[in-house]
Amino acid sequence: QKEVEQNSGPLSVPEGAIASLNCTYSDRGSQSFFWYRQYSGKSPELIMFIYSNGDKEDGRFTAQLNKASQYVSLLIRDSQPSDSATYLCAVSMNTGFQKLVFGTGTRLLVSP
Amino acid sequence: DGGITQSPKYLFRKEGQNVTLSCEQNLNHDAMYWYRQDPGQGLRLIYYSQIVNDFQKGDIAEGYSVSREKKESFPLTVTSAQKNPTAFYLCASSIPRGPQADTIYFGEGSWLTVV
């Protein structure tokens, strides 16, 4: 059973729309949740992290966490073609050393 | 500029050869990591180190070796025992953020191809 699951996509949205990316995780003891953006052939870059239930907003990005349902989502408002990338969800498992476990990513395509 | 530097960016390895990927950081981070990414796959942890002179195996350590003699450096050797080494290798580092988790930052990556 995968520990962190994401729909591989691609998720296609028109420019200016809201893109909604979802991630579920299996370990109820998970403490911290991260979203990374990865352009093709490049390394991941951190977009947001969230620790508590609820919403966290940063510019056009909003992370949402629901620990009871074990999912975390990323909303991108006013999507731009430059947002086209693969978005990786990562979860810090509740082990002695909090190493991240990554999902396989969701590819987002924003069309002009 | 502070950051994580990986070299080389592209590397070709012949069958049976060992190769070493370099990773240097000037962020003064304690923890360093090596991940492997295959096409269409997520990142898988190879090795990690929380402190100088100490490191632990990750999920896919077989065929790899590391050292951590300096805080700034965490080289990865891909040995001939690694059956399928062609992949994108990512070095990362982090600093603890209280009791919650380490926020990990990545270098630009190294592409390794077996020829």
Structure tokens at B26: 């000037």
- Model pLDDT for residues B16-39, shown as the tens digit of each residue: 899 999 999 998 888 899 999 998
Q: Which residues pair with A101 in a beta bridge?
A: A91
CA distance A37 to A45: 5
Task: Spell out which residues of chain A touch residue B109, defining contact as CB-CB under 8 Å.
Answer: 42-43
Compute the CA torsion angle A39, B84, A4, A51 (nearest 10 deg).
-60
- A&B contacts, CB < 8 Å: 58
- Per-residue pLDDT, averaged over A50-64, amounts to 94
Q: Per the CB < 8 Å rule, is A42 touching B109?
A: yes
Q: pLDDT averaged over chain B?
A: 89
pLDDT at B97: 55
Cα A4 from chain centre: 11
Q: How confident is the model at residue A96 (pLDDT cuts 50, 70, 90)?
A: very low
B68-102: burial string, b at 16+ Cβ within 10 Å, e else = beebbebbbebeeebeebebbbbbbbbeeeeeebb
Going by pLDDT thresholds of 50, 70 and 90, the confidence category of residue A99 is confident
B98 CB within 8 Å of a chain A CB: no
For the cut 90, the answer to whether the pLDDT of residue A28 exceeds it is: no
* Percentage of chain A lying above the pLDDT 90 cut: 77
pLDDT at A54: 95
Q: Which band of pLDDT confidence, cut at 50, 70 and 90, is reported for residue A2?
A: low
Mutate to test the interface with B, among A99, A104, A106 (most CBs of B within 10 A): A99
For B55, which residue in chain A has the nearest alpha carbon?
A97
Q: How confident is the model at residue B100 (pLDDT cuts 50, 70, 90)?
A: very low
Residue B1 pLDDT class (50, 70, 90 cuts): low
pLDDT over 90 (residue A105) = yes
Model confidence at B55, in pLDDT bands (50, 70, 90)? very high
Q: A84 and A108 in contact (C-beta within 8 Å)?
A: yes
Residue A49 Cα, gap to closest chain B Cα (Å): 8
B96 → chain A, closest CA residue: A98
Residue B114: is its pLDDT beyond 80? yes
Q: What is the mean pLDDT of residues A11-29?
A: 95
Q: Find the range with the poorest average confidence among A27-36, B39-48, B94-103.
A: B94-103
The residue ranking higher by pLDDT, A27 or A16, is A16
